[in-house]
């Protein structure tokens, strides 16, 4: 004799948002954890906005809206910061725009530079790097890539990269020309161009002049919701 069927609404307790959150926290304790590790970029405004620096295990998107808005200076500062902290760094350069001659030779010795196209392959390379436990910074520079390339990147690829980064110690900095990364915990926008006068200034001073706008703070939103 078949067991009498029980209406689902009666059998299941009413699942409130609070109960759902608690249940998810119990089942996936890793997903909501806050991380204490940050890698300072050396750019005061960015470190201030992110609460100390690029967060380990999360994606931070840096959008450089126009030319000479300082994206490459932020990258150089972050690489120098990693070097000063005796940490390893990797740069996946999908636009092949990185110029090693623009940095001091001694500031490059900790760097693994990966040149690759298209974006999907760059994401694969970044995933391999974030899974390695040796890097404190994995930068993914996607500026200068073709629009058609972007259309071939499913949103799931970004969440996959985020999941790969979560258990690790690496801070992931994604540089784009416009907002593109759905899984970014933070999005910073650089939209004020620098002039030729900056060419004679020390890079610390240039970094101090950069004023990024914090356009997304998913981590803060999650903390508030929790």
Partner 1 sequence: MTKARWTMAGDTMKFAVVRAERFALQALRRTEPGLAGRPVGLFDLAEQDGDGGGEDAASTGRRPAAATGGVPAASGVVEVSPEAEAREVGPGMDAPLAMARCPDIALRRRSAEAEREAQAALLAASFALSPRVEATAAGVCTVDLQGADPVRTAAAARRLVGELAAAGLRVTVGLARTPLLAGYAAVWAALRAAGTMAGEGVFGLNDEKAFLAGLPVAAAEPPAEIADILLRWGVRTLGAVTAIPKAEFGRRLGAEGVALWERASGEATRVLAPARLPEKFEGEWDFAEPVETLEPLLFLVRRLVDRLMLELKAAGLAAAALRLALRLEDEGRYERELPLPEPSGEADRLFRVLHTHLEQVRTAAAVTGLRLEVKPGRPLVKQPGLFDTGLKDPQGFSETLARLAALVGAENVGTPQPARTFRPDSCRLARPEDMVPAPPPHPARGLVLRRFRPAAPARVEMREGRPWRIEAEAVGGAATRDVAACRGPWHESGEWWADTRWACERWQVELAGGGVYQLTRVGAAWAVEGVLD
Residues that bind partner 1 (CB under 8 A): 64, 66-73, 75-76, 80, 83-84, 86-88, 96-116, 121, 124-125, 128-129, 131-134, 143-144, 193-204, 206
CA angle 33, 36, 37 (to 5 degrees): 120
Q: Which is nearer to partner 1, 169 or 217 (CB)?
A: 169
Q: For 13-42, give one letter per residue: b (16+ CB within 10 A) or e.
A: eeeeeeeeeeeeeeeeeeeeeeeebbbbbb
Q: Which is nearer to partner 1, 116 or 214 (CB)?
A: 116
CA angle 168, 172, 178 (to 5 degrees): 150
Who's near 21: CB < 8 A, 6+ residues apart? 225, 226
Q: Which is nearer to partner 1, 114 or 219 (CB)?
A: 114
Q: Residue 58 Cβ, how far from partner 1 at the closest point, in Å?
A: 20
Answer whether 140's CB lies under 8 Å from 174's CB: yes
Q: Residue 181 Cβ, how far from partner 1 at the closest point, in Å?
A: 19
Q: Which is nearer to partner 1, 135 or 158 (CB)?
A: 135
Q: Residue 170 Cβ, how far from partner 1 at the closest point, in Å?
A: 11
Q: Residue 32 Cβ, how far from partner 1 at the closest point, in Å?
A: 26
């Amino acid at each position: 004799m078949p067991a009498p069927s029980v209406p689902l609404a009666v059998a299941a307790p009413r699942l409130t948002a609070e109960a759902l959150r608690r249940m998810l926290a119990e089942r996936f304790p890793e997903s909501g954890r806050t991380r204490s590790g940050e890698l300072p970029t050396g750019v005061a405004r960015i470190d201030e906005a992110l609460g100390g620096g690029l967060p380990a295990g999360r994606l931070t998107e840096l959008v450089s809206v126009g030319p000479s808005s300082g994206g490459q200076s932020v990258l150089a500062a972050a690489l120098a910061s990693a070097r000063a902290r005796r940490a390893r760094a990797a740069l996946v350069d999908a636009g092949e725009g990185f110029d090693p001659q623009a940095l001091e030779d001694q500031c490059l010795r900790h760097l693994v530079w990966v040149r690759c196209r298209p974006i999907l392959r760059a994401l694969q390379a970044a995933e391999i790097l974030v899974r390695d436990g040796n890097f404190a910074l994995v930068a993914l520079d996607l500026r200068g890539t073709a629009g058609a390339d972007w259309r071939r990147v499913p949103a799931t690829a970004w969440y996959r990269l985020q999941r790969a980064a979560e258990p690790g110690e690496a801070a992931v900095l994604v540089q784009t020309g416009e907002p593109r990364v759905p899984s970014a915990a933070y999005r910073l926008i650089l939209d004020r161009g620098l002039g030729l006068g900056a060419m004679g200034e020390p890079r610390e001073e240039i970094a101090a002049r950069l004023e990024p706008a914090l356009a997304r703070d998913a981590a803060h939103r999650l903390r508030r919701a929790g």
